[in-house]
Structure 1
């Protein structure tokens, strides 16, 4: 083997004519995946169900292999595409006919905030981390939990929020990053504090250290009560 054999480095065992075939294979793979996405409907990645994501990844793998491996024939990839279409249609049919099957396949939305406080079961489910959910709230312009009446985690991972009216906003846990809120295990003065894990509110007196009676978390921050910006 010769060092710096550029034909070997760039093309390996194939000849330059195969590059034209790569272009044709790539076009075919592009059309296959595009047609599936058209059949599945125009939806963003965040809106794809778990099953749809698995299908697209499978198609992507098959389409990717056929584009530049000369020993991968085209016809089996088309068979994969047809099989996936049939499987997708069958799954969609079963999902529409059976709510239980659809719930098993895609999961179901669940409540994660109720009246300005986190639902402990939702936090402990492991579907989303505490930090991730706080980030989702910040992206929606939320400053503290007291602004939120209901928060629902949808099956696609998106978050639906329902807010209190401006005059009904309650004190709540600041959801700003840790460097922008003061975390305390001992109250520095008598005030209303929010548990940094579940959002439970408690009035603490000076120098009082109290684990949250709701989730046993020892860390608190001062509750905020600002209304949402218009």
Structure 2
């Protein structure tokens, strides 16, 4: 018969769990911000493995010696609350949003590639040309502006205001 008290009663002080959750969440958010926008795009299998491995790596420091359901629920609530708090703060204070949230970065301006943004996001000219072709554009000179969006996607504005083609969806979607 399970010991219901140890299953539901916190096994680690609540303040310690809150602090562990807070520090881990904020440090991971900072690391993701530094990694760049390009990494925010679609997830491949290696990305899924990376998420699982990072989760396993931070779990012991996150939960300490906890073993109850209450510990896990408090940690999850801490992470969700911090996520909501940062979103609310970014909404309320636009200056703070510039630090917390990613902004679109100009990859192409008036038909010229921005080498500075390419270096920052570790994108090659070939990768950008692939994205242009997916939008039905063969030459960078056809682009008035192209932005690397916060979600990792590239938005394109053609010269003359023409709409680019919709990028094809991967098979099976």
TM-score w.r.t. length of structure 1:
0.39
- Unaligned stretches of 5+ in structure 1? 1-44, 48-56, 66-70, 169-227
Aligned with 2:121: secondary structure? coil
RMSD (Å), alpha carbons? 3.3
Partner of 1:74: 69
CA distance in structure 1 between the partners assigned to 2:73 and 2:148 by the alignment: 37
Report the number of matched residues.
108
- Bigger Cα Rg: 1
Corresponding residue to 1:164 among 145, 149, 159: 159
Partner of 2:134: 139
Q: Which has the higher helix share?
A: 2
CA distance in structure 2 between the partners assigned to 1:151 and 1:87 by the alignment: 32
The 1:138–1:72 alpha-carbon spacing in structure 2 relative to 1, beyond 3 Å, is: farther
Partner deviation per Cα, 1:121-172 (whole Å, 9 max, x = no partner):
2223235333322222222222111221111111221111011239x9xxxx
The answer (yes or no) to whether the contact 2:146–2:155 under 8 Å persists in 1 is yes
By relative contact order (CA 8 Å, sep 6+), the higher-ranking structure is 2
CA distance in structure 1 between the partners assigned to 2:121 and 2:79 by the alignment: 30
TM-score w.r.t. length of structure 2:
0.50
The 1:127–1:101 alpha-carbon spacing in structure 2 relative to 1, beyond 3 Å, is: farther
The 1:132–1:72 alpha-carbon spacing in structure 2 relative to 1, beyond 3 Å, is: farther
